[in-house]
Amino acid sequence: MKFCALASGSSGNCFFVKKEDTAALIDAGISAKQIVERLAVIGESPETIKGIFVTHEHVDHIRGIDVFASRYNTPVYLTRKTSKSAFVCRDEKLLNMIKGGELVKVGGLNVEAFSKSHDAAEPVSYSIATTNNKLSVITDIGYACKNVVEHVSSSDSVILESNYDVDMLENGPYPAYLKQRIDSELGHISNYNAALLVLQHASKNLQNVMLSHLSINNNTPDVALRTFNLLKERKDIKPKVCVSVREKPSDYISLK
């Protein structure tokens, strides 16, 4: 299995996962044109994508779905309340309703949805498993609920939200109501709490942590990476920690 972030941040999120000749997207929050262009950068084709898995209805997660799915006849998987909360795709035949806890097989990829805490209608995150590996893609979480902990602890790679630095948020320009929303259990997870989640619950088999959905105003890649030095307290894990950004694809990571 291989994966990368085609984009991640408050302006758009899109994650690519592939095994052999079958691939899937987790969210498509950038334009279809950008998706195709960024796939070309990593040497991949849009025709390999056999499913788009939607986490929730916010525009930075669904922006490119309609055009991409319609153009390439790509099935879209999402929860029913998510479907009813926003326009996702003009071709309703491409929409497939799923529930938290449901498993969808796409080629050699076993994609499992699981519920999480975020200010959306029926938000889910996803884990993607093959015979040898498990990747969990976990962004837009207010806190590490039981489902999040379970999937982090059973994954050998995680794409994990590391949205904000606490001090930068507290001392930044956002109005009080927005700061409160971000810092709430229905908002986003901080660098520190994301690092603590991995420190406390990661499997000794953890290979990779890709920090994602960084705030443009309340975080920087360097600050997020420094916070994850906390993982050095665990002597039994030495994952590679990297950061995804909004402007270009991340490193393309192959799992062992």
Domain extent at residue 188? 2-247
Within-domain flag for 134: yes
Q: According to the model, what pLDDT value does residue 256 have? A: 77
State the CATH number of the domain containing residue 16.
Answer: 3.60.15.10
Continuous H helices in the chain: 32-41, 59-62, 65-72, 80-85, 146-153, 166-170, 176-182, 191-201, 221-227
Question: Structural domain tally of the chain?
Answer: 1
| Of 134, 93, 89, the residue nearest 111 (C-alpha) | 134
Within-domain flag for 253: no
Average pLDDT (181-203) is 97
φ, ψ of residue 148 in degrees (nearest 5) = -65, -45
Average pLDDT (100-122) is 97
φ, ψ of residue 237 in degrees (nearest 5) = -130, 140
Instruction: Give yes or no for residue 4 having a pLDDT over 80.
Output: yes
Within-domain flag for 13: yes
Within-domain flag for 255: no
Q: For residues 43 and 61, give the distance between their C-alpha atoms in angstroms, rounded to a whole number.
A: 23
CB atoms within 10 A of CB 84: 12
Q: For residues 111 and 17, give the distance between their C-alpha atoms in angstroms, rounded to a whole number.
A: 10
Q: According to the model, what pLDDT value does residue 52 have? A: 98
Within-domain flag for 254: no
pLDDT tens sequence across 157-186 = 999 999 999 999 999 999 999 999 999 999
Query: In Å, what is the CA distance from 75 to each residue of 82, 87, 112, 117?
Result: 15, 15, 16, 25
Pair of tokens at residue 96? 């497939």
Identify the band that residue 156 occupies on the pLDDT scale cut at 50, 70 and 90: very high
Within-domain flag for 252: no
Tell me the residue ranges of DSSP E strands in the chain: 2-7, 14-19, 22-26, 49-53, 76-79, 95-98, 103-106, 109-115, 124-129, 134-138, 157-161, 208-212, 240-243, 253-254
Within-domain flag for 151: yes
